Homo-oligomer: A and B are copies of this chain.
């Protein structure tokens, strides 16, 4: 019987899940809107039914080895989601406990989405064989997963890896976390939108964005504009890369990784994000670390990277036990 893990990516809008084999092939998958289930018990039921359907409609019989779940504010130690602002559930949800009602004998592992991406990179992606690396997820916010000595750093409370909340400027942009100047207010899909609006305020340069509302603007539009030579779009990417590069230089001083992987929407801007990030990272790096650390695109980045990353949690758990 073929062994498969379930990977679940809980997002603010949709939840995606899939059956993944040990080689990282997604054998089948499903999706449903997270927001339609403000009752977390009904949500888990819907997820269970979806997984059962995948198993039933499979051409062959599968043996489930475990369930891995990536979720905003997911806590590895407690198996909970705690106070996730973009999810429909208030307070703390005991995700593992609820899943165990349906899968009493399987390991169920929860962590935040960026940590899941890092484990995915280690199990299936570009970090195979690496013991010290860092994954930075550039989505609506900025997430990160640090691996040292071959192990993910969960920290004492299970919430480590919040690189998006190191402070760039103590008088900087207001952040959703309640503080000011967090890295993710500059370096993320939302951050670069804010930068475009700042540049429109400061300069008199013409730009196609002068006809676009903040709500309508997307990071993809900024990438496309940069490709077309829009000066504000190019400047916005340069600025984003400068702040990311500086933050990565500091992170390297602490954990000295072999490689840093950029994952998610903004990483798809290719040279517009990689070139300035690399330039400012090296420029601000302590001399002993210079020209040592690889800056790479994620090796699992794609439509289902988050499901893949989540399933890797289950595969890693089983491998560590074996």
| A residues at B contact (CB < 8 Å) | 73, 82-83, 130-133, 144, 146, 148-149, 151, 153-163, 165-167, 170, 177-179, 182, 246, 249-251, 253-258, 284, 286-289, 292-293
Q: Identify the closest chain B residue to A180 (Cβ).
A: B284
Query: Cα distance A149–B255 when bound, in Å?
Result: 14
With a CB–CB cut-off of 8 A, which chain B residues contact A165? 253, 286
Residues of B within 8 A of A149 (CB): 148-149, 151, 153-154
7 A–B contacts, CB within 8 A, in A order: A144-B254, A148-B149, A159-B256, A166-B250, A167-B246, A167-B250, A179-B287
Contact present for B148 and A132 (CB under 8 Å): no
Instruction: Please determine whether B251 and A160 come into contact, CB atoms closer than 8 angstroms.
Output: no
Given contact pairs A155-B255, A257-B155, A246 touches B170 in the complex (Cβ within 8 A): yes
A135 to chain B minimum Cβ distance, whole angstroms, is 13
Q: Cβ of A251 and Cβ of B254 under 8 Å apart?
A: yes
Residue on B nearest A151 in the bound complex, by CB: B149
**Minimum C-beta distance from A131 to chain B (A):** 7
Of B83, B130, B286, B292, which contacts A179 at CB under 8 A? B286
Contacts of A153 in B (CB 8 A): 132, 148-149, 254-256
Residues of B within 8 A of A249 (CB): 167
Which residue of A133, A153, A156, A170 has the most chain B CB atoms within 10 A of its CB atom?
Answer: A156
**How far apart are the CA atoms of A249 and B18 in the complex, in Å?**
37
- Report the minimal beta-carbon distance from A56 to chain B, rounded to whole angstroms: 39
- Determine whether the beta carbon of A131 is less than 8 Å from that of B156: yes
Take A153-B149, A284-B167, A284-B170 as given contacts and tell me if A159 and B289 are in contact as well, using a CB distance cutoff of 8 Å: yes
A152 to chain B, nearest CB (A): 8
Tell me if B170 and A255 are in contact (CB < 8 A): no
Measured CA separation A284–B256 after assembly (Å): 24
Q: Which residue of B lies closest to A242 (CB)?
A: B170
Chain B contacts for A289, CB-based, 8 A = 157, 159
What separation, in Å, do the CA atoms of A146 and B289 have in the docked complex? 17
In Å, the complex CA distance between A114 and B82 comes to 35
Enumerate chain B residues within 8 angstroms of A160, measured Cβ to Cβ.
132, 148, 254-256
> Considering only CB atoms, which chain B residue lies closest to A157 in the complex?
B256
Q: Which residue of chain B lies nearest to A161 when distances are taken between CB atoms in the complex?
A: B254
- Contact of A156 with B170 in the complex, beta carbons under 8 Å: no
Kindly list chain B residues whose C-beta atoms are within 8 Å of the C-beta of A284: 167, 170, 179
Q: Contact check, A159 vs B288: say whether CB atoms are below 8 A apart.
A: yes
Known: A250-B166, A250-B167, A286-B162. A256 touches B155 (CB 8 A): yes
A178 to B288: give the CA distance in the assembly, Å.
Answer: 11
Which residues of chain B have C-beta atoms less than 8 A from A288's C-beta? 73, 82-83, 157, 159, 162
Distance from A82 Cβ to chain B, minimum over Cβ atoms (Å): 8
Q: Which of B82, B130, B255 is A146 in contact with, Cβ under 8 Å?
A: B255
- Of all chain B residues, the one with the shortest Cβ separation from A249 is B167
Max chain B C-beta neighbours (<10 A), residue from A82, A130, A158, A257 = A257
